[in-house]
Structure 1
Amino acid sequence: MMYRLVADTAMVVHFAFLVYLAVGGFLAWRWRRTLWAHLAVVAWGVISIVTGVECPLTLAEDWGRRQAGMEGLPASGFIDHYIEDVIYPQEHTNLVRLGVAVLVLFSYVGYVLRRQ
């Protein structure tokens, strides 16, 4: 039961992390200090895409699932399991990444313009 809670919590936090990655820059329009947290999240996202380093949340969920006697996440990871071919087709991954990058860039441009 406890391991399942670890796995489920890691999954929910991971989804929240991805949502914050996409739209967290807009929170900085209202709460300026959140920009630093968002920059860190964006940096981690870029590093994980460029280097392929596995996210600790993926590792935590996989560990919790296995300890609970469930099937672990596939080797391809969290996004491949929950998002690609579920929310959008895998062949559109780069387009989705570009869309998120544009959204983040737009939020940062808006942040700068609102501060003037």
Structure 2
Amino acid sequence: MADLVVVAHLLFIIFALLGGLLVMWRRLFVFLHIPAAVWVALISFKGWICPLTPLEIRLRRAAGEQGYSGGFVEHYIIPVIYPEQLNFNVQIVLGIAAVAINFVIYVLVYYQLKSR
């Protein structure tokens, strides 16, 4: 179950970053994507930990595995990108990157919808 939470967590992050592209296909995705993108930005800018992280840790411990401290991004993503520990400054940069990616996508969505 913990691995399923990790997969769901990763899919949510991908959706929050790139889900705006789905708006080009079906406009109703905007109502799912905007809240997801705002949530990811808030977590980054506020230094919060996503609720899926404690759930995954609890599931791992319940299964007899060892949990970990910190957040999902710190545990799974940052070691791939950065060798040092996640800190608030890195989270801010990731939040800015998420907002920038979504801004560019929604500019593309705007021009694509305008050209119809």
Long gaps (5+) in structure 2: none
1:57-105 alpha-carbon deviations (Å, 9 max, x no partner): 112101101111111122x211111011213445893544433322111
The match for 2:37 is: 42
CA contact under 8 A between 2:44 and 2:95: conserved in structure 1? Answer: no
The match for 1:107 is: 105
TM-score by length of 2: 0.82
Q: Which whole-Å CA distance do the structure 1 matches of 2:57 and 2:44 have between them?
A: 19
Deviation >2 Å, runs of 4+: 50-54, 87-101
Secondary structure of 1:70's partner?
coil
CA contact under 8 A between 2:41 and 2:98: conserved in structure 1? Answer: no
Long gaps (5+) in structure 1: 1-5
TM-score by length of 1: 0.82
Q: Which whole-Å CA distance do the structure 2 matches of 1:40 and 1:28 have between them?
A: 13
Question: What amino acid sits opposite 2:106 in the alignment?
Answer: Y
Q: Is 1:78 paired with 2:72?
A: yes
Percent of matched pairs sharing the same residue: 30
Distance 1:24 1:57, change over 3 A: same
